[in-house]
Amino acid sequence: EDQVTQSPEALRLQEGESSSLNCSYTVSGLRGLFWYRQDPGKGPEFLFTLYSAGEEKEKERLKATLTKKESFLHITAPKPEDSATYLCAVQPYNFNKFYFGSGTKLNVKP
């Protein structure tokens, strides 16, 4: 069964304190793994797509990496404006469907 598990559920960081969010997945062939950011009361906003193990992508203070079983979203020297819920999703290779994790709620304190 295709599924996605994110950890931790919530993470509190001090400004400048780097950390990582985890997304573990099981899928019958991976077409893509996606990271989204969701602010309260808004729809998810696309961050990254990763397609194969070993791939890495960066955007400002965020870096996403992918292995055959999990993905990490590394946050370097976070700022309060990075506070949001970060969602991970996978798309199986043979289907036009997406499976989302329940997200990690990040709170960065000044």
CB-wise, 43 or 110, nearer to other proteins? 43
Min CB(45)–other proteins separation in Å:
7
Taking the C-alpha atoms of residue 41 and residue 43, their distance in angstroms, rounded to an integer, is: 7
Minimum CB separation of residue 18 from other proteins in Å reads 25
Cis amide linkage into residue 8, ω under 30° from 0: yes
Cβ-proximal residues to 110 (8 Å cutoff; 6+ apart), any chain? 15, 80
Which residues contact other proteins (rule: CB under 8 A)?
Answer: 4, 6, 9, 31-32, 34, 36, 41-46, 49, 87, 89, 91, 96-103
